[in-house]
Amino acid sequence: MAALDELMSSLPIGDIAKKLGVDEATATQAVEQALPALLAGMGANAQDQAGAASLQKAVSKHDPALVEGGVNLADVDEEDGKKIVKNVFGQNTDQVVQALDQKQGGGAGDLIGKLLPILAPIVLSFLAQQFTKKSTGGESQGGGIGDLLGGLLGGGFGGGAQAQGGGLGDLLGGLFGGGSGGGSQAQGGGLGDLLGGLGGLLGGGKR
């Protein structure tokens, strides 16, 4: 998950902690839960052509410069972030926040709710940066949004528009207790345990 580590390293955890009014350890823990959930939600939406096209369009509107050399929190548009989160999770937004709160031991619902709109524009700018790297490397972007998200989460997301055997269906099925089909087991501890309770809440966003 080198790319995901790269994204994590670009985040100004200290500034995020100050903005949320928590210590850095708490902010780090919250980010480590919210970030994969956000990415996986985008991946779930990218399973069909309309969702993939919508996400690709959103990515194209975000400047990769936001994540280059580390994120300046003052440059993050949280109002844009709120729209992105709502588009990703749709009517399930509140349930996703509650599920993540429970994974953190309760009492962090407001924290997660404030954190997701901060992370969402950063994620789209990061995805834009990754696509720029792909295009400059001479690789086709066809069906790439699902593949890219799958790579960030340590598994193949198929061709972006359709779940393929051993790809998005299996990955999400394992991570989220079968909510998106597929039969693989949750990845040992960590991500699988973290997101196992989200089930079918992902992929509820606007196509």
Question: What is the per-residue pLDDT across 57-111, written as a single tens digit (0 to 9) for each?
Answer: 899 999 999 999 899 999 999 999 999 999 888 888 888 888 887 776 666 558 8
pLDDT tens-digit readout, 4-40: 788 889 999 999 999 999 999 999 999 988 888 898 8
What are the two backbone dihedrals, phi and then psi, of residue 7, each rounded to the nearest 5 degrees? -65, -45
Q: Where are the domains of the chain?
A: 2-201
Q: What is the pTM of this model?
A: 0.75
Q: Kindly state the tokens that stand for 157.
A: 């997301």
The residue ranges of DSSP E strands in 38-147, in sequence order, are none
Q: What's the pLDDT score for residue 203? A: 53
Q: What's the pLDDT score for residue 2? A: 64
Answer yes or no: are the C-beta atoms of 3 and 63 closer than 8 Å: no
